[in-house]
Structure 1
């Protein structure tokens, strides 16, 4: 999933451009520590040389690694806002063996690559599961850009 997701995120930027559209990437190690590297440069090098590899470079803005779940004072403020306005994208019960934070909340990010669609005016439009490939957002993005 990781390779396809990163490649498809780049494809969305290629398709929609950067004038009225942006993808923001927020790495996190809260999901079984699957995001390698501690610094932005280490994450970037992993993307370029390992997964997806073959010289891959994200054409969207990537931020430093941060927490997306847990006590509100410890998570990235962007995710505090996103989760406050948008319920879960799927079932709220997941195997807690993979959970490295407390408290577990009904609107927690379930896994890497959860996605949110936000309008140009800052309205949260939709939340997508981590299992939704970026290519499947194309129709919703196109429709929102017409507004």
Structure 2
């Protein structure tokens, strides 16, 4: 299986088949509204605006598993992201990224791109996964990695 074989639920509650993104480069991020890294929403939006017309889509997946930093409802999350960071990239309903109830997409992402020392668990909010046009995970990035630092890798995947 690859990333395009999965589906998720949009922030508005609609099913989204990730196959619609075939042929695009994806930046998939687990997000939170009350985290020290929350200002990265701005950087993610800048990457999305810079590359969306070239075939890059940022996908945000709110998660409340780290310090309970995403307590809001889907409606509150969407309003917060739009009002504070002007987010226009797709956001999905709140999910788990670790444990038995982890979303199947994130199980696949972690399997294809384990973290430090081969551990699969996601350590914190704003862990980023860059996925190539073929639906295979290219690389995993730490929460502290600013979205702008990914532009070189994004350009490499766009030209592949």
Q: If the TM-score is normalised by the length of the shorter chain, which range does it land in?
A: 0.7 to 0.9
- Is the CA contact (8 Å cut-off) linking 1:69 and 1:75 kept in structure 2? yes
Residue 122 to residue 31, structure 1, CA distance change in 2 (3 Å): same
1:98 match: none
Corresponding residue pairs, total? 124
> Which has the higher Rg, Structure 1 or Structure 2?
1
Give runs of ≥4 in structure 1 deviating > 4 Å: none
1:85 match: 112
TM-score between the two structures when normalised by the length of structure 2: 0.72
1:146 match: 159
Pick the aligned partner of 2:81 from 47, 54, 59.
47
- Is the CA contact (8 Å cut-off) linking 1:26 and 1:62 kept in structure 2? yes
- Is the CA contact (8 Å cut-off) linking 2:42 and 2:86 kept in structure 1? no
1:113 match: 126
Bigger strand share: 2
- Is the CA contact (8 Å cut-off) linking 2:82 and 2:88 kept in structure 1? no
Measured after TM superposition, the shift of residue 125 of structure 1 is 0.5
Bigger relative contact order, structure 1 or 2 (CA pairs below 8 A, ≥6 apart): 2
CA RMSD, aligned part only?
A: 1.6
Where structure 1 has 5 or more consecutive residues not aligned to the other structure, the ranges are 93-105
Alpha-carbon displacement from aligned partner over 1:71-119 (angstroms, at most 9, x marks no partner): 2xx111110111111111x367xxxxxxxxxxxxx21011000000100
- Is the CA contact (8 Å cut-off) linking 1:36 and 1:46 kept in structure 2? no
Residue 18 to residue 110, structure 1, CA distance change in 2 (3 Å): farther
Q: How does 1:54-73 map to 2 (within 5 A)?
A: 56-71=85-100
2:140 match: 127
TM-score between the two structures when normalised by the length of structure 1: 0.78
- Is the CA contact (8 Å cut-off) linking 1:36 and 1:42 kept in structure 2? no
